[in-house]
Structure formats: structure tokens, C-alpha cells
């Protein structure tokens, strides 16, 4: 989504000092216009409706109405890209991260120090380009058409021909990953490895959310961990996760690849090398092209390649780049991924999509 003219930003924070620091930093960028401020969530809702900003920076702890309640209201009534800013997340309630993501916040960031304000402006400009969707919590989606419901009666798994499922995910992805993992049974016979781009300060909270909502054993990968059925390994922040020839994983230091550390492509390429046609590569919503080279490697090795479809992607950058490259076997709606993985693991027929 292109933005005409300057990026219009609403800054929400109850601290006058912090609010002014953020305003000054954003106004220092000639491509940004701060169109208003608010010091509580209720004001944020009112001013978002009146000012129509391209992006909102949202504090969490505020009087009258907290930032997450305001985010939920805005995303349900008049959705805008929202960047949640908070202090040290370790001092927050552990459910803060997953609640922020669940109600529709696009990104989370620790309130920056003075020397990091330039990075804040860059992230705001990136978020302004994202198409947001309405989030109405508590409203059950009617499943119809291509959105198939999960089977009501559990079916046993036979020996699966799939060796590993590797997922690359970025902006908008945590919600998709959480829903997917919550739909898979404890005896799911294929190991899963995931690279999810998220601010490192929030990785522990994200892991807790995924683990508590899934019957699978979800953990942050450690060097030498074994890939096993019913297990999910998530790349730690600032280290690449790769699969070795022994069916184990290794953690590797190094610079970013395609702008990301950990890299989805590094994971998917290693899966192609070790598992060949038994590898499944998946790219979910996200900006940029991370994962595309890895997905191409899996396709070349004879494995299966899957992306989240455009309709359900917050950002179709990563999946769209793979589609444009002509390396995608299946485009799947986020709501259908759990059912798709179950059919895949059982060796059932997968309609070409």
C-alpha cells in the first residue's frame, strides 16, 4: 500500500516527557508528520477516528483506558497499523505480548533510547505501507467455501512420508503460527521448525503464548536438539537455525541474511539439503523476501512448497515474492493451514491451489 505525501502518525503515551521524545524523533524525519497526540486509550480512539493517521504508536500502561484495550477497539472499528511501545517486557504481565498481537497490533518495540529513535522512524514508515485487516475478537468466523473445518473425529496417523516442516514467518505471523499450532494434535507425526521474526525482547513471551496454546511440545531451539514428532523448535533471536545431517539442529552466529537474523532461507535450505523430497517449506505473511531462496531449494529438491495466500496475509511480501518466482505448489488461507498440515501428514490428496 503506497502512502501519498508524508506518513501521518498519532503518538499515544501518558508520559509527557516520553510523548515529546517520540514526537521530536518522528518530526526529525522529513517524510513523517505527527498529526496528533493522546495521553490515554480513550483519547487515542477518538483522535484516531478524527485524524485518520497512517500509523499509531501506542503505549500500554495508561489511565482511563490502557493501550491494548484501545488497540482492540481501533482494530475492530477503524483499523490502522499500530506499533505497541512498552518498557521492559520482562516487567510486564507475561500475557501482554500475546494479547497485543491477538488484538491486532502489527509490531512490538521496547521504548527506544535517544540513540535508537532513528530506527523508530524507519519502522513507522514501513508499517505505513501495510494493509491492515479488521480484528473482531469473540466473533466466530463462518467457515465456508475453500475454508475447510478441522475434522471433528480424530483420525490416527500412519507412517508419514514427510520428514520435516519448516516455516518462515514475519509481520503478522505470530497470530497465524499460534492458530496453526493450536489446531495440531499432540501425536502430529512430523517435526516442525520455525523462524519467526520478532523483536528479541518479546521472544520469551511469544514462546510462552505458543507453548500454552498448543498440544505440541514447543521450545526455543538449542544447539544439538533433535527433531522429533510432536515437537516444535523455534529459532532463538540473533542466531540462525539450521538442520544438520544427523536430524538435529545447529545454531549459527553470523550477519543478517535478506535483512533478517535468524533467516528463514537458511532454515529452509538446510531442510532441502538434509531431507530432499521429504522436506516441506512454508512461508507466511511478512515484508521482504526472506525464505524465498530456501523455498526454491526445497522445490528443486522435490519437496513441497506452501505459502499463506494473499487474502489472509497482513503483508504479502514474502509469500508474494515466492509466488512471483514460480516456486509455490500451494497457496493456503491462514484458517486452513491446520487442516492442510493434517492432510499432508496423512498422505491424503492435496488439491492443487
What CATH code is carried by the domain that includes residue 310? 3.40.50.180
Q: Are residues 45 and 173 in the same domain?
A: no
Cell representation of residue 231: 515437537
Asked whether 254 and 240 are in contact (CB, 8 A), the reply is: yes
> Does the residue 74 lie in any domain?
yes
> Does the residue 342 lie in any domain?
yes
Q: Are residues 327 and 181 in the same domain?
A: yes
Asked whether 12 and 58 are in contact (CB, 8 A), the reply is: yes
> In this prediction, what percent of the chain has a pLDDT beyond 90?
69
Residue 130 confidence (pLDDT) above 60:
yes
> Does the residue 35 lie in any domain?
yes
Question: Looking at 13, 290, 336, 339, which residue is catalytic?
Answer: 290
Residue 136 confidence (pLDDT) above 60:
no
Question: Looking at 59, 66, 170, 333, which residue is catalytic?
Answer: 170
Least confident window among 142-151, 152-161, 314-323, 340-349? 142-151
Q: Are residues 240 and 91 in the same domain?
A: no
Grid cell 522436506 in the structure block, residue: 279
* pLDDT the model gives residue 145: 39
Last residue of a domain, one of 103, 127, 151: 127
Which domain CATH number covers 65? Answer: 3.40.50.2300
> Does the residue 312 lie in any domain?
yes
Question: Looking at 54, 98, 197, 260, which residue is catalytic?
Answer: 197
What are residue 59's phi and psi, to 5 degrees?
Answer: -75, 160
Domain that holds residue 298: 164-346
* pLDDT the model gives residue 91: 57
Cell representation of residue 279: 522436506
pLDDT in tens, 207-236: 989 999 999 999 999 999 999 999 999 999
**Beta strands 249-252; 240-243: pairing state:** antiparallel
**What is the total count of domains within the chain?**
2
- Distance from C-alpha of 298 to C-alpha of 305, rounded to nearest angstrom: 7
Q: 322 CB contacts (<8 Å, ≥6 apart)?
A: 283, 291, 292, 295, 296, 305, 307, 328
pLDDT in tens, 32-90: 999 999 999 999 999 999 999 999 999 999 999 999 999 999 999 999 999 999 876 66
> Does the residue 145 lie in any domain?
no
Name which residue leads in pLDDT, 201 or 43: 43
> Does the residue 242 lie in any domain?
yes
Per-residue pLDDT band for 6 (boundaries 50, 70, 90) equals: very high
Residue 336 confidence (pLDDT) above 70:
yes
Sign of CA pseudo-dihedral 40, 41, 43, 44? positive
Q: Are residues 204 and 321 in the same domain?
A: yes
Asked whether 123 and 83 are in contact (CB, 8 A), the reply is: yes
**Beta strands 249-252; 304-308: pairing state:** unpaired
Closest CA to 58 of 107, 7, 113: 107
* 197 given a catalytic annotation: yes
Q: Are residues 48 and 176 in the same domain?
A: no
Q: Identify the three-state secondary structure at position 35.
A: strand
Structure pTM?
0.85
* 290 given a catalytic annotation: yes
pLDDT in tens, 140-199: 333 333 444 444 455 656 567 899 999 999 998 999 999 999 999 999 999 999 999 988
* pLDDT the model gives residue 158: 59
Per-residue pLDDT band for 138 (boundaries 50, 70, 90) equals: very low
* 170 given a catalytic annotation: yes
* pLDDT the model gives residue 102: 84
**Beta strands 249-252; 7-12: pairing state:** unpaired
Amino acid at each position: 500500500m503506497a502512502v501519498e505525501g508524508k506518513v501521518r502518525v498519532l503518538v499515544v503515551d501518558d508520559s509527557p516527557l516520553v510523548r515529546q521524545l517520540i514526537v521530536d524523533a518522528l518530526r526529525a524525519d522529513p517524510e513523517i508528520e505527527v498529526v496528533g497526540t493522546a495521553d490515554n486509550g480513550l483519547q487515542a480512539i477518538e483522535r484516531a477516528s478524527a485524524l485518520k493517521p497512517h500509523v499509531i504508536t501506542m503505549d500500554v500502561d495508561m489511565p482511563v483506558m490502557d493501550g491494548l484495550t484501545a488497540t482492540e477497539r481501533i482494530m475492530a472499528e477503524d483499523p490502522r497499523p499500530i506499533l505497541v511501545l512498552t518498557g521492559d517486557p520482562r516487567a510486564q504481565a507475561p500475557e501482554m505480548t500475546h494479547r497485543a498481537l491477538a488484538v491486532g497490533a502489527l509490531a512490538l518495540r521496547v521504548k527506544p533510547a535517544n540513540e535508537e529513535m532513528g530506527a523508530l522512524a524507519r519502522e513507522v514508515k514501513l508499517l505505513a505501507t501495510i494493509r491492515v485487516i479488521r480484528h473482531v475478537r469473540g466473533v466466530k468466523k463462518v467457515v465456508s467455501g475453500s475454508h475447510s473445518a478441522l475434522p471433528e473425529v480424530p483420525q490416527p496417523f500412519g507412517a508419514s512420508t514427510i520428514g520435516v516442516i519448516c516455516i518462515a514467518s514475519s509481520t503478522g505471523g505470530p497470530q497465524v503460527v499460534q492458530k496453526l499450532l493450536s489446531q495440531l494434535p499432540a501425536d502430529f507425526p512430523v517435526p516442525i521448525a520455525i523462524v519467526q521474526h520478532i523483536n528479541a525482547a518479546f521472544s520469551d513471551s511469544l514462546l510462552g503464548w505458543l507453548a500454552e496454546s498448543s498440544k505440541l511440545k514447543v521450545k526455543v531451539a538449542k544447539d544439538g536438539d533433535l527433531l522429533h514428532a510432536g515437537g516444535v523448535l523455534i529459532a532463538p533471536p540473533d542466531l540462525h537455525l539450521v538442520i544438520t545431517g544427523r536430524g538435529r539442529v545447529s545454531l549459527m552466529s553470523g550477519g543478517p541474511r535478506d535483512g533478517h537474523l535468524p533467516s528463514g532461507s537458511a532454515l529452509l535450505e538446510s531442510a532441502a539439503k538434509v531431507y530432499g523430497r521429504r522436506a516441506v517449506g512454508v512461508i507466511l505473511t511478512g515484508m521482504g523476501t526472506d525464505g524465498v531462496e530456501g523455498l526454491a531449494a526445497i522445490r528443486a529438491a522435490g519437496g513441497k512448497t506452501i505459502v499463506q495466500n494473499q487474502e489472509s496475509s497482513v503483508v504479502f511480501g514474502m509469500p508474494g515474492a515466492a509466488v512471483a518466482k514460480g516456486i509455490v505448489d500451494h497457496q493456503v488461507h491462514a484458517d486452513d493451514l491446520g487442516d492442510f498440515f493434517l492432510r499432508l501428514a496423512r498422505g491424503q490428496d492435496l488439491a492443487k491451489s
